[in-house]
Structure 1
C-alpha cells in the first residue's frame, strides 16, 4: 500500500515542502531514498522504539520510503514523526484519509515524546501558502508557528496524540496566537535604559544621531569609560520594529532554533560575538549553510567589542554585507541568501595598553605601538563606519550624582520623529529607508549646502587633514542632525558637529 505524507525542508530563510512516499509491499527490508543525511537514516531505530513503546510496530515487510524531490539533500531528525506516521498509514495500522491535508514534523524520543525542531516559522509560512489544512509539530514550537494566520497549528507532546488524531478522530488542542497583540505587548519595556548612564552627554548625543540615521558607529576610549554600557542601550532608542521586520527577524532566529516557546520577536536583536569568532560563524555558512551573527542581528545591532582583537580576515568578510545589507553563501549545488541589515557598533581601546598619552595611566603605549594597533583595522572597513567618537572616563562627581539621566523612551521619541521624516523623504526609493543608506545620487539631492557650509567643510578637510572618504559620511551625518532638529536644509552648525565625529580620519589622531 502506498501513502503520501508531507514534511518540509528549510533552505536559507525559506522552506520547501517535502513529499514522503511510503510503500509497504511483500518481502523484507527497509529502504530510505531521496538524499537523506545520517540523522534521517538512523531514524528507523528511533521510530521502531517509539512505536513499540506506544503499542504499534514497524511491519516485517519490504518498506520503501522516498523523500521527494529526490535530488534535494535532506538533513536533521525533524522527519521522524513524518516517517513514523507514513509507515503506520501505509501498513494499515491507522486510517489515512486526511493525512495528506496536514504537514507533519517532529523528532522522536524512544518513548514517543516529540522533541522540538528548527525552522518552524518558515515551514508554517510555506504550509499556509500551499493550502495545507493544518501543521502538526512539537508543542515547544507551536507558539512560533501559530504566528501564521489561516493555518491550524497543533502542538503535540507524544506520537500517540498524532496516532489517535488520525485513527479515531481524537481532538488536538489548536494553538492560537493573536500576532498583533503579542507584538505590541512588549514594545515599551527595554531591559537596558539610558537613564542608568551617568554623564557621557556628548556620547549619548552621538548614539541618538546614530539611531536616528541608522549610522554605524565606533567608540574609542580607555577601559571602564562606559563603551559597552552605552552600546547595550542602543536598541532601546531605536524605533520599534514593524510587524514585517519582526516576522523577518523571527524567521532567521527560527532557522537556528532560538525561538522555543517565544512566538514573535518584538525587541530588536542585539548580538555581541566574542573576538575569537570565525568568519563562517560571523557571516554564516558551513556544509549545510546556517545564518551567522550578522544575520541574527538583522534589523538590530551587531556589537563588536575590542574591534582590533578580531582576526583581520573576520572583519574583512563584513565589508560586502555592510554595503549590500545581505549575504550570499554559495556552494557547488546551491546558493542561499540571508538578510543582514544591521547597525554596526564597535568599540576599541586607543592603544594595546588601553591608555594613550595619559601620564596617570599604569601602563602606556608608544605612538608606534598605537599606530600598529590601529593598523589592524582596514581603511575600507572604517570607510563603512559613519561616526567615530572618543569616550572619556566619567569623573567621580558625575558618577556619584543621584539625578537620573534622560530615559530611553524620551530619546526614542526624537529618533522616531527623525525616522518619520526620512521615511517620507525616501518613499519613492525601494532600497533606501534612512540616511545611512543614501548613495552618491541621494546625497547630491538631499544634502545641498549653502556657500558658508561648503567653505566650512572645505576648511575643515584641509586643516584637520580629513580623508576623502570622510566627505560623504559627514554629509550623511549632518543630514541626520538636521532631521533631529526638524530642519529642511543643512547649515553650518550641522556640518561642524558632523566633522567632530570623524576622529580616526584625522592625521596624527591623539598625537
Structure 2
C-alpha cells in the first residue's frame, strides 16, 4: 500500500479552498475510483491521466487506485485538477518526491500525449492558495504570466508531465516528452515562436471612441464627465440616432486605470470565464454591452461552479444596457441589489458564492416605442398609454437607484458642420476626472472611500453635512414627495462630484439644483 498527496484548489465563484488530492495504490483488481464530490469532468480525469502517463513512458498503477479529493463535502469542478491527480499518483509510486508534491499546489489539465494544457481560474486559485498559506505552485506554462500576478507564491510553469516530474524532484529517466507546440492553446500565435499577449481589457477590444466625436450634446457630455468622476449611474434618454450609444461607448476612455486590488479582482473574474485564462492584468475598467435578449443567469451568474455573470464581468467598470426597456423587467430588477451593495451572492444546492458586482450602470432608452416623442413636430404616433407602458418597463425602484437622468436631444445641422469648433476630447476629460477623483479621495479617505458615488447616506448627512441654506431646495423636494431618501442621498453625491469638478471645497446651492434637475426634478420655490 502506498499513499501520495498533492494540493489543488476548488473554486466557488472567485473564492477558493486549498484541497488535498490523495492517491492510494493498493492490492486488488485494476480499478480507479475518484471520490470527493467530483463532477463529470473531474471523474473523467482517470482516463486523461492514464493515457497521458502511458504516452509519456510512465507506468499507470495496474492494481486498485483510489483518489480522494478532500474536503469531501466541497464540490470539485473542471479539468484543473488533472495535474494534481497525476502528481499524487506519481508520488504514491515513488516517481517523484512525496514531500515536494505534498507542499506544492498543482494546477493544470492533461492532454492525452502528456502535454499540460491551460485552464481557467489560475489567478483566483493562487490567490486562495496564498491565503491558505501555500507558497509553492506549478501551473501550465501558458498560464504562467497570469500566475505571476500573485505575489508571495513561487510559481513554476510546465509544458508536460516530464517537466512536472523534474520540478517535483523525480527521476526523468525513460520519460518521453511530446513535441512542443509553437502556440499554446488559448493564445495568439506569435511569428517569433511564442504566444503573443492579447488585449487584456475586458469587454473592449478596440480603442474607445474619443469624446470629441460627440457633436451637439454639451449637457450630455458634461453629465458623462460627472458620471465618470463620481462613478454615478447614468440614464440617457433621447430620440434614435441622437448619440446615446456613442456617448456610452466613450465612457471607458475617460475612466482612470484601476488600482492594484480592483485590477486583481477584475482579472480574477475574467480568468474564471476565459477558457485558457487571461494574458495580463485587467488594469482598465471593463466595458460590457449585452444584447437585450440577455437571460437572468447570464446577467447574475450561476451554473456549475457558480460562474460569474455580466454583473461580475463588468465589476469596477461599466455595464451598458442599450435599449434598456427592451430587456425583460425581471432581468432589469435583478440589478437593484447589485446597485446598492456592489456584490451579489449566489445560492445553488446548499452552496453559495459571493461575487463582485460593483459596476457603473449606463442605460439608454428612447422616449417612446416609435422614438419620436421628443420631436418638436409632433410626429410621435404613440398613444399616452403606449408611452406609459414603455417607460414603466424600467421600474421605479430601479430608476431611484440611478443618479443622473439626462435627455439627449437630436443633433442639428449646425452641430455637424461645426467641425472646427473646439470640442472636449477624451484626454482633457480624463484629466478633469482624475483631478476630481483626487479631491474626493482627500476628503473621503478617513471614511475608507474614494468616489462620491459610493458614499453612504450616514456620511453624507453626518461628517459631510451641508448647511440648511444650501440644501433648502433639496429639502423641499423631499418634503413634497418628489424624492425618496435614497434619491436625496444620490442628489447629494452628484452635487459633491460637481463641486470637485469645479474645484471648490463644498457644493453650493447651484450644484444641488443642477443635480436635482438631472433627476428630473425642477427646483421648488
TM-score tier, shorter chain, comes to 0.7 to 0.9
User: 1:313, CA displacement in angstroms?
Assistant: 0.8
Aligned ranges for residues 368-379 of structure 1 at < 5 Å?
368-379=385-396
Q: 1:62 to 1:472 in 2, by over 3 A?
A: closer
Q: Which stretch of structure 1 is more off in the superposition, 79-88 or 216-225?
A: 79-88
Q: 1:455 to 1:76 in 2, by over 3 A?
A: closer
Matched with 2:109 is 107
2:54 is the alignment partner of 1:52:
yes
Matched with 1:22 is 23
Q: 1:224 aligns with which of 218, 237, 241?
A: 241
Matched with 2:453 is 436
Q: 2:79 aligns with which of 53, 77, 80?
A: 77
Describe the superposition over 1:262-299 as per-residue Cα deviations: whole angstroms up to 9, x where unpaired: 22111111111221112222122225311111111111
Q: Which stretch of structure 1 is more off in the superposition, 15-24 or 399-408?
A: 399-408
**In 1, are the aligned partners of 2:233 and 2:403 still within 8 Å (CA)?**
yes
Alignment partners' CA distance in 2, 1:133 and 1:239: 33
Aligned ranges for residues 62-101 of structure 1 at < 5 Å?
62-101=64-103
**In 2, are the aligned partners of 1:450 and 1:491 still within 8 Å (CA)?**
no
Secondary structure of the residue aligned to 1:167 is coil
**In 1, are the aligned partners of 2:120 and 2:277 still within 8 Å (CA)?**
no
Alignment partners' CA distance in 1, 2:276 and 2:435: 31
User: 1:153, CA displacement in angstroms?
Assistant: 1.9
User: 1:10, CA displacement in angstroms?
Assistant: 1.1
2:425 is the alignment partner of 1:422:
no
User: 1:421, CA displacement in angstroms?
Assistant: 2.0
Aligned residue pairs: how many?
Answer: 487
2:224 is the alignment partner of 1:198:
no
TM-score by length of 2: 0.86
User: 1:493, CA displacement in angstroms?
Assistant: 2.3
Matched with 2:403 is 386
**In 2, are the aligned partners of 1:118 and 1:254 still within 8 Å (CA)?**
yes
Q: 1:82 to 1:455 in 2, by over 3 A?
A: closer
Aligned ranges for residues 277-316 of structure 1 at < 5 Å?
277-316=294-333
Matched with 1:397 is 414
**In 2, are the aligned partners of 1:449 and 1:490 still within 8 Å (CA)?**
no
Secondary structure of the residue aligned to 1:147 is coil
Q: 1:258 to 1:264 in 2, by over 3 A?
A: farther
User: 1:462, CA displacement in angstroms?
Assistant: 9.6
User: 1:449, CA displacement in angstroms?
Assistant: 4.2
Matched with 2:128 is 126
**In 2, are the aligned partners of 1:447 and 1:475 still within 8 Å (CA)?**
no
Aligned ranges for residues 179-190 of structure 1 at < 5 Å?
none
Q: Which stretch of structure 1 is more off in the superposition, 350-359 or 203-212?
A: 350-359
**In 2, are the aligned partners of 1:475 and 1:495 still within 8 Å (CA)?**
yes
Q: 1:368 to 1:447 in 2, by over 3 A?
A: farther
Describe the superposition over 1:122-162 as per-residue Cα deviations: whole angstroms up to 9, x where unpaired: 22223334454532112221111111123222222222322
2:285 is the alignment partner of 1:268:
yes
Alignment partners' CA distance in 1, 2:217 and 2:249: 15
Aligned ranges for residues 486-497 of structure 1 at < 5 Å?
486-497=503-514
Q: 1:499 to 1:12 in 2, by over 3 A?
A: same
Q: 1:499 to 1:43 in 2, by over 3 A?
A: same
2:185 is the alignment partner of 1:167:
no
Aligned ranges for residues 325-404 of structure 1 at < 5 Å?
325-358=342-375, 364-403=381-420
Secondary structure of the residue aligned to 1:280 is helix
Is there any run of 5+ residues in structure 1 with no aligned partner, and where? 173-181, 184-188, 507-511
Secondary structure of the residue aligned to 1:320 is helix
**In 2, are the aligned partners of 1:253 and 1:259 still within 8 Å (CA)?**
no
Describe the superposition over 1:182-206 as per-residue Cα deviations: whole angstroms up to 9, x where unpaired: 99xxxxx964321232332211100
Alignment partners' CA distance in 2, 1:38 and 1:288: 12
Q: Which stretch of structure 1 is more off in the superposition, 105-114 or 434-443?
A: 434-443
Describe the superposition over 1:409-443 as per-residue Cα deviations: whole angstroms up to 9, x where unpaired: 2112222222222222222324x432222333333
Q: 1:4 to 1:193 in 2, by over 3 A?
A: same
